[in-house]
Chain A
Amino acid sequence: MSGFFALPIGLIALIAVPIIIALFALRPTRVRYVVASHMLWQEALRDVREGSGLSRLLRNLSLLLFLLAALSAALALGDPRWLGVTPGAKDLVIVLDISASMRADGASDSRINMAIAEARRRIDALPVGGRIAVLTSGRYPRVQLGLENNLDTARGVLNEIAATDEIGDPPNALRLAVSLLPDRETGQVVFITDGAFDASLMDRFPAVELALVSTQESNNVAIANFDVRAEVGRDDRYQVLVTISNLSDSPVQTSLDVGAETRVLRTVAVELTANENKTVLLPMQGTMPRTLFARLDIEDGLAADNLAFTVPRLEEELRVALYTNGNFYLESVLSALPNIVVYKRNEEALTKFGQVQDAVNAITRQDFDLVIFDSLTPPRLPPGNYFFLNAIPPVAGIQERSTLTAVTLTEVSDNPLVSMVDPNALRIDVADSVFFDEGAGIHSLLKSGPHSIAVNQINEERRLIYLGFDPAESNFPLLIAFPLFIQESLRWLSPIDASRQVNHSEPGAPHWVRLPRGVDTVKIVMPGGARRVASTTTRTFRFDETSTVGLYRYEMGQYRGQFAVMLNDLEESNLRTRASRRSETPVDKSKPHTAVTETVLWPSLAALALFALLIEWMVTAFRRRAAS
């Protein structure tokens, strides 16, 4: 916004201002007067001077009003015009690539430092009134600064930005950047990157300016994959597989270390031709460690992909307590399922140890993961996981309704537990149907008319499945659905097993940790040694600070585990600049968009001058009246 004078010669009238001041200054000299009461005059003067500022102002009000009138009139004679300009000379959205490849060296500095320097130049060149937004492009785009007039704030944001080990996702970041522009005609998106990504990605964003900070070739060798597997039938042997990629145009010789924790178990020499991928299979002796690492001993463009971790998933047994007086079909299925250990107890054992106490001990001591009651009913249930087969569960919300004979299924729930049950194939001689309260988290699985003969319940304290008939009194054991139903039921009933956590994540991707029952706090130690402690009221916890590759250890109550964050992305490990420079056909957005509105100001100034004179006249009249 600015203004100008259409008739600048009119400003000559400004000479009236010094004339007025001179006339005031050159008024007749002060009259000298001899007084006896000098001290009283001093006191009066002090009293007046200490009076209100308004009083002091009023003493010179006439002069001020005359000056205001003269100034306004002079400016009015100059015919001033006010130019209104549309706000935002230019909006600039800077997208900074902070993916792993930006850690590599550029022509003069690291690529990320060169990118930040380029961003600073863009900010410095922004026209007055321009706004700036800053985004980072990693695994996910992040808005570091929304559109902001304060360029110092933007520079401060740049100081906080650093490259990560994350895999870049430029399309997502650019889509978000474009959406930040309120007016695409006056705004500009600049993607400051090393261009180490698929060149075709930029075709989708023709309006985005690509600012490449470094086109220098950088050699890199990366661990593209790292895995471990047990040998079949051998608990004392396992195999390590490492895929190594040479992402340069020259052959490479290096050595590969494989180890557990901090101890190197094997070191092998690796020789790769230009652009070669090679998988190294290493048979290992001994019990499989809980964590393994692979490390390339090489100085190359990117260090993040020279180190990889893996956390083998160890299968653990599911411990099942079975209270039964004997059930051939059920026991046969349980014995056939892998990783299940059944602790069988008869009715006498239940009676002997007390129904409630035994169940309580079973759950609280974590001796068993779940309890199956086959045609036996405990008096009541503590919190836990239960399968009731042909026995009414003693829980609020489920009551026996009636005994049905020659049952034909009319409705099968779409619950995965019973999705394999064919209602036309299943024949049941006798079944006990139940009433249930849907508000208690109970759902029907199998229905015969209005009667529910199978339900499940899930709430904070308990998971429960009720099957209201003896398999021996049906053809269910003869159907393939029976073992599948038992297997799915046991899987659904088994407590959340911390050992079955997902053990690997990409850099920057959130990692979900499933908490065991009764645990609400997770302590995580990051690769650099930093610690994080978080509490959650849900059974899962999302951890977002995974931008650095390495091994993350966590602790949830008694349970300790770890997960590995690995780059393992050849696209990111390839440090060659592949994206094309678009600056040859730049989309000129640099002209600030302005809509000029011109406002004539002389009438307002003339009115102001007249108003000042009117006020002066009123003040003088008031003073004269007061004096008289």
Chain B
Amino acid sequence: MEQPTQSTGDESSHGDVFDAQFLRRLEQIELLARRIFRGQIRGERITKRRGRGLEFTDFRPYQTGDDLRYLDWNVSARLDKLFLKLFASEEDLSLHVLLDVSASMSVGRPEKFDYARRLAAAFAYIGVANLDRVTVSGFDASCLSSAAVFSSRRHMVRVFDTLRNFTPRGVSSFSQSMESFCAMGRSRGLVVVLSDLLTESEKGGRDIIRGLDALRHRGHEVAVVQVLSEEDIQPPLDGALELIDAETREVIRLSADDALRQAYARALAQYLDLLEHQTKARGVHYLRTSTAISFEDVMLKYLRYGAAFS
């Protein structure tokens, strides 16, 4: 007997995830975001790359072929050596929102997928509001669809439509999806991954890390928001059960008791610790949330977090 909480992924059965109330909350988030990023205008976001910007960052010895316009004659006269002035590169930010659309995202009440879609819309809205270039993509076994580019607030309706069209299904392969995304040659920027990171791969943690490494090696800054449902965190299971995997439909027969629930809690904690440790070691912004937490709180937390790193 299958649980009635099983999500079909069709938002029509649950109403529009981007209803008027959501849009109002999105406005509030945008206002809060402006407060956090006050004083920053387009083209002023400083990247770690050095280039032809205006802000001086460092010197380096002159090498053949360097542009003589950037020689610092004062320093060269003092030290009797040629030195080149270096400036920080200033460029537009590309925001890539990657939404996990595998079947595992349909599990939970409320569905992780709806929750994640709202978060994706919020990230896109804030990005567009800041005049960044925003792409929104969904991924399961491969990066699949609707990698549309939006750069204006009037494109938000298309963003919502794109997100509405995503349906949670299929098997996720995180690393394969990320490698596919990288292969598309998107401009370097900030990649926000929204997923439950519950992959069926035997070495789940390694698969995630390999995918994140692929993004990093492509030059993206990476932020991961792991969305879990309460059913994932504290499964209300007891007695004789048949557990069906949402993606592979594989079945486990077991008798859930305290010992098994405790063992599950230990396994989940170990897995989350692994993800946190590995992402931290790679400079990946990692944020874990539950569908029980309002998405506004998550966004504010992320914006503060992101501001500190910008």
Please state if B200 and A38 are interface contacts (CB–CB under 8 Å). Answer: yes
User: Most chain-A Cβ atoms within 10 A of its Cβ — which of B242, B243, B250, B260?
Assistant: B243
Number of A-B pairs whose CB atoms are under 8 Å? 108
Residues of B contacting A45 in the complex (Cβ-Cβ under 8 angstroms)? 252, 254, 260, 263
Residues of B contacting A40 in the complex (Cβ-Cβ under 8 angstroms)? 198, 264, 267-268, 271
**Interface residues of chain B: helix, strand, loop or mixed (majority):** mixed
Please state if A41 and B240 are interface contacts (CB–CB under 8 Å). Answer: no
- Nearest A residue to B108, CB-CB: A36
Q: Flag whether A460 is at the interface (Cβ < 8 A).
A: no
Known: A32-B241, A35-B244, A38-B248. A43 touches B232 (CB 8 A): no
**Interface residues of chain A: helix, strand, loop or mixed (majority):** helix
| Cα–Cα distance between A42 and B201 once the two chains are bound (Å) | 12
Q: Flag whether A51 is at the interface (Cβ < 8 A).
A: yes
| Cα–Cα distance between A36 and B245 once the two chains are bound (Å) | 6
| Cα–Cα distance between A275 and B255 once the two chains are bound (Å) | 97
Residues of A contacting B247 in the complex (Cβ-Cβ under 8 angstroms)? 36, 38
Q: Flag whether A30 is at the interface (Cβ < 8 A).
A: yes
Q: Interface residues of A, CB < 8 Å — how many?
A: 27
- Nearest A residue to B198, CB-CB: A36
Q: What bracket does the count of chain B residues touching chain A fall in?
A: 35 or more
Q: Flag whether A44 is at the interface (Cβ < 8 A).
A: yes
Residues of B contacting A234 in the complex (Cβ-Cβ under 8 angstroms)? none
* B 252-265 to A, binary, CB cutoff 8 A, 1 in contact else 0: 11110111100110
| Cα–Cα distance between A28 and B242 once the two chains are bound (Å) | 12
Known: A39-B204, A42-B252, A47-B266. A33 touches B260 (CB 8 A): no
Partner of B243, one of A28, A33, A627: A33
Known: A30-B240, A36-B198. A43 touches B1 (CB 8 A): no
Please state if A31 and B241 are interface contacts (CB–CB under 8 Å). Answer: yes
What's the nearest-Cβ distance from chain B to residue A306, in Å? 87
12 pairs, CB–CB < 8 Å, chain A vs chain B: A31-B241, A32-B1, A33-B237, A34-B107, A36-B229, A37-B264, A39-B200, A39-B202, A40-B267, A44-B267, A45-B260, A47-B266
Task: Please name the 8 residue pairs, one residue from A and one from B, whose CB atoms are nearest each other, closest first.
Answer: A38-B245, A36-B104, A44-B263, A44-B264, A36-B107, A43-B267, A47-B263, A30-B240
Residues of B contacting A31 in the complex (Cβ-Cβ under 8 angstroms)? 1, 239-242
Residues of B contacting A48 in the complex (Cβ-Cβ under 8 angstroms)? 259-260, 263
What's the nearest-Cβ distance from chain A to residue B274, in Å? 12
Q: Flag whether B161 is at the interface (Cβ < 8 A).
A: no
| Cα–Cα distance between A271 and B2 once the two chains are bound (Å) | 114
Please state if B107 and A626 are interface contacts (CB–CB under 8 Å). Answer: no
* B 213-253 to A, binary, CB cutoff 8 A, 1 in contact else 0: 00000000000000001011001010111111111101011
Known: A41-B252, A45-B254, A48-B259. A35 touches B266 (CB 8 A): no
Q: Flag whether B196 is at the interface (Cβ < 8 A).
A: yes
Please state if B200 and A51 are interface contacts (CB–CB under 8 Å). Answer: no
| Cα–Cα distance between A91 and B305 once the two chains are bound (Å) | 94
User: Most chain-B Cβ atoms within 10 A of its Cβ — which of A31, A35, A38, A48?
Assistant: A35
Q: Flag whether A55 is at the interface (Cβ < 8 A).
A: yes
Name the interface residues of A223-250: CB closer than 8 Å to any CB of B.
Answer: none
Please state if A35 and B107 are interface contacts (CB–CB under 8 Å). Answer: yes
Chain B interface residues toward A at CB < 8 A: 1-3, 6, 104-105, 107-108, 112, 196, 198-202, 204, 229, 231-232, 235, 237, 239-248, 250, 252-255, 257-260, 263-264, 266-268, 271
What's the nearest-Cβ distance from chain A to residue B270, in Å? 8
Q: Flag whether A121 is at the interface (Cβ < 8 A).
A: no
Please state if B263 and A35 are interface contacts (CB–CB under 8 Å). Answer: no
What's the nearest-Cβ distance from chain A to residue B242, in Å? 5
Residues of A contacting B104 in the complex (Cβ-Cβ under 8 angstroms)? 36
- Nearest B residue to A42, CB-CB: B252
What's the nearest-Cβ distance from chain A to residue B110, in Å? 14
Residues of A contacting B2 in the complex (Cβ-Cβ under 8 angstroms)? 32-34
Please state if B231 and A35 are interface contacts (CB–CB under 8 Å). Answer: yes
Beyond A35-B246, A36-B196, A41-B252, 19 additional pairs, beta carbon < 8 A: A28-B240, A30-B240, A31-B239, A31-B241, A33-B244, A34-B107, A36-B105, A36-B107, A36-B232, A38-B200, A38-B243, A38-B248, A39-B204, A40-B268, A44-B263, A47-B266, A48-B259, A59-B259, A627-B258
Residues of B contacting A47 in the complex (Cβ-Cβ under 8 angstroms)? 263, 266-267
What's the nearest-Cβ distance from chain A to residue B128, in Å? 31
Please state if A34 and B246 are interface contacts (CB–CB under 8 Å). Answer: yes
Residues of A contacting B260 in the complex (Cβ-Cβ under 8 angstroms)? 44-45, 48
* A 607-628 to B, binary, CB cutoff 8 A, 1 in contact else 0: 0000000000000000100110
Please state if A33 and B255 are interface contacts (CB–CB under 8 Å). Answer: no
Please state if A27 and B240 are interface contacts (CB–CB under 8 Å). Answer: yes
User: Most chain-B Cβ atoms within 10 A of its Cβ — which of A31, A37, A40?
Assistant: A37
User: Most chain-A Cβ atoms within 10 A of its Cβ — which of B3, B245, B246?
Assistant: B245
User: Most chain-A Cβ atoms within 10 A of its Cβ — which of B108, B112, B201, B252?
Assistant: B252
Please state if B259 and A51 are interface contacts (CB–CB under 8 Å). Answer: yes
Please state if B253 and A35 are interface contacts (CB–CB under 8 Å). Answer: no
Please state if A30 and B241 are interface contacts (CB–CB under 8 Å). Answer: yes
Residues of A contacting B264 in the complex (Cβ-Cβ under 8 angstroms)? 37, 40-41, 44
- Nearest B residue to A31, CB-CB: B241
Name the interface residues of A1-48: CB closer than 8 Å to any CB of B.
Answer: 27-45, 47-48
Please state if A55 and B241 are interface contacts (CB–CB under 8 Å). Answer: no
Known: A38-B252, A41-B254, A45-B260. A32 touches B268 (CB 8 A): no
* A 251-270 to B, binary, CB cutoff 8 A, 1 in contact else 0: 00000000000000000000
Residues of B contacting A30 in the complex (Cβ-Cβ under 8 angstroms)? 240-242, 253
